[in-house]
Amino acid sequence: MTVDDTGSGQGTPPGPDGAPRPAESAYPENDASGAGDDSPAPDEKPDEPDLGVDDGGLDDLDGEGKNPLALRLEQLILGADRRYTPFQAARSAGVSMELASRFWRAMGFPDIGQAKALTEADVLALRRLAGLVEAGLLSEAMAVQVARSTGQTTARLAEWQIDSFLEGLTEPPEPGMTRTEVTYPLVELLLPELEEFLVYVWRRQLAAATGRVVQAADDEEMVDRRLAVGFADLVGFTRLTRRMEEEELGELVEAFETTAADLVAAHGGRLIKTLGDEVLYAADDAGTAAEIALRLIETMANDETMPELRVGIAFGTVTTRMGDVFGTTVNLASRLTSIAPRDAVLVDGALAEELVRTGDAPASETEAAALAEKAEKEGEEPPGYRFALQPMWQRPVRGLGIVEPWLLARRG
């Protein structure tokens, strides 16, 4: 619900029927309730520029003529009635229309002109973000970034819950009942539980992320960190899309993403994002990233319904922004994935060196054999390497020059 300032001295905008709106409706009293009549003098104008009017394709933003159940559901979920136009909400929150517009657009809501579609919660959210800026805890740019990252993440979650979760639960329990009749009591029961669970998971994730960051060796590493980054890609996915029904394809993608997410989390990595036929993950150390890659290959190979998989991993400095990762290391991992053999893992030289340094892999099989023979003669346990590395032919990689990939395998 991005805001739009049409109260900038251009005249009061007309109502839905074309008739002029009462002048006082655009200028509520500047308090939390927005009640009262505090109409400006004839020569008084808001101090913000006109941002234009774009309803983003939304209809009936004032709620007139809207499905009564839809309005009841909206009120149930939002916890309040529609009460404010965007200009009224910004004025009640004590922020400029320009800043209010930036916040709402960052959260992913479309422009709504001057429809009375906002609630007390919208005013409170504006106040909170603006208050963090005024207190010096966040810069204005950072506050907008907070709004954007939160909006993007929760938008995907909400879409999934409606498309998949609620769709399956709203099957009419009795003949003659409609899905619509089941929806309201179901949402009423689930809403507080899902809200509590969302806050719990967010706190858990925040604690884990904070713990990782504060363990960084220095201030620079807290922002640009050395990570192992891996891409896992389904082979021949484009061909599959031509042969499979949409529902089958959706089930395959969901199964792949679910399996990958579970394996990454179980072995200490972090799933950065899923791209349908590809997942991107990161790990703090090379050994964890390598173990995840081989587990993915092994698990998918044992599932006859899954296509073959290929994985590429690189190790190095990575820039993290809004939960995503960027930089040459990420690009290299992506390129390695594109040239990896089917059901195989390719890693870059930096990750291979890190595995050797930590004792997870030998520098060469000749060295491993020599160390094992020496340990046997001395009655000691041979080194317990987890992985084997095989150098591959050097080759040019688009945008990154010549690279020497290594084929990663499990020893024994």
The answer to whether residues 270 and 371 belong to one domain is yes
Cα separation, 92 vs 304, whole angstroms: 60
Q: Residue 72 and residue 171: Cα distance in Å, rounded?
A: 20
Any domain includes 168: no
- Looking at the domain assignment, is residue 117 inside a domain? yes
Q: Residue 323's domain is classified under what CATH number? A: 3.30.70.1230
Task: Let me know whether 241 and 364 are in one domain.
Answer: yes
Structure tokens at 10: 């251009």
pLDDT tens, residue by residue, 140-186: 988 988 888 888 888 888 887 877 666 666 666 667 777 777 778 88
Q: What is the pLDDT of residue 276?
A: 79
From 105, 123, 153, the end of a domain falls on 153
User: How many domains is the chain built from?
Assistant: 2
Using the CB atoms, write b or e for 163-195: b if 16+ within 10 Å.
Answer: eeebeeebeeeeeeeeeeebbeeebeeeeeeee
Phi and psi at residue 346, to the nearest 5°: -110, 140
Q: Which two tokens stand for residue 79?
A: 């916890």
Do strands 406-410 and 309-321 pair parallel, antiparallel, or not at all (unpaired)? unpaired
Question: Do 300 and 402 reside in the same domain of the chain?
Answer: yes
Q: How many CB atoms lie within 10 A of CB 74?
A: 17
* Same domain assignment for residues 142 and 235: no
277 and 392 inside one domain: yes
- What are 205's strand-pairing partners? none
Which of residues 153, 186, 213 is at a domain's end? 153
Q: Which of 126-130, 201-205, 379-383, 385-389 has the lowest mean pLDDT?
A: 379-383
Considering the domain architecture, whether residues 128 and 31 belong to the same structural domain is answered as yes
Residue in 275, 272, 287 with CA at minimum distance from that of residue 408: 287
Q: Within a domain: residue 367? A: yes
Cα separation, 279 vs 124, in Å, equals: 37
The rounded distance, in Å, linking the Cα atoms of 328 and 335 is 10
- Predicted TM-score (pTM) of the model is 0.61
Assess whether 117 and 225 both reside in one domain. no
Query: Domain check: are 144 and 277 in the same one?
Result: no
Residue 31 domain-assigned (yes or no) = yes
**What residues make up the domain containing 145?**
23-153
Q: What is 227-277 written as a DSSP string?
A: EEEEEEEETTHHHHHHHS-HHHHHHHHHHHHHHHHHHHHHTT-EEEEE-SS
In this structure, the answer to whether residues 252 and 371 fall within a common structural domain is yes
Structural domain contains residue 177: no
Q: Are residues 367 and 259 in the same domain?
A: yes
Judged against a pLDDT cut of 50, whether residue 249 lies above it is answered with yes
Kindly report the number of other CB atoms within 10 A of residue 262's CB atom: 12
- Asked if the structure places residue 214 within a domain, the reply is no
DSSP code per residue over 152-179: HHHHHHHHHIIIIIIHHHTS-SSTT--H
d(CA 184, CA 71): 11
Specify whether 126 is located in the same domain as 266. Answer: no
Asked which of 26-40, 113-127, 133-147, 339-353 is least confident by mean pLDDT, the reply is 26-40
Domain membership flag for residue 82: yes
Q: Give strand pairing partners of 311.
A: 232, 345
Asked if residue 193 is part of any domain, the answer here is no
Residue where a domain stops, chosen among 106, 132, 153: 153
Tell me the per-residue pLDDT of 50-73, one tens digit each, with 9 for 90 and over. Answer: 333 333 334 445 555 567 777 888
Residue whose structure tokens are 């040019």: 396
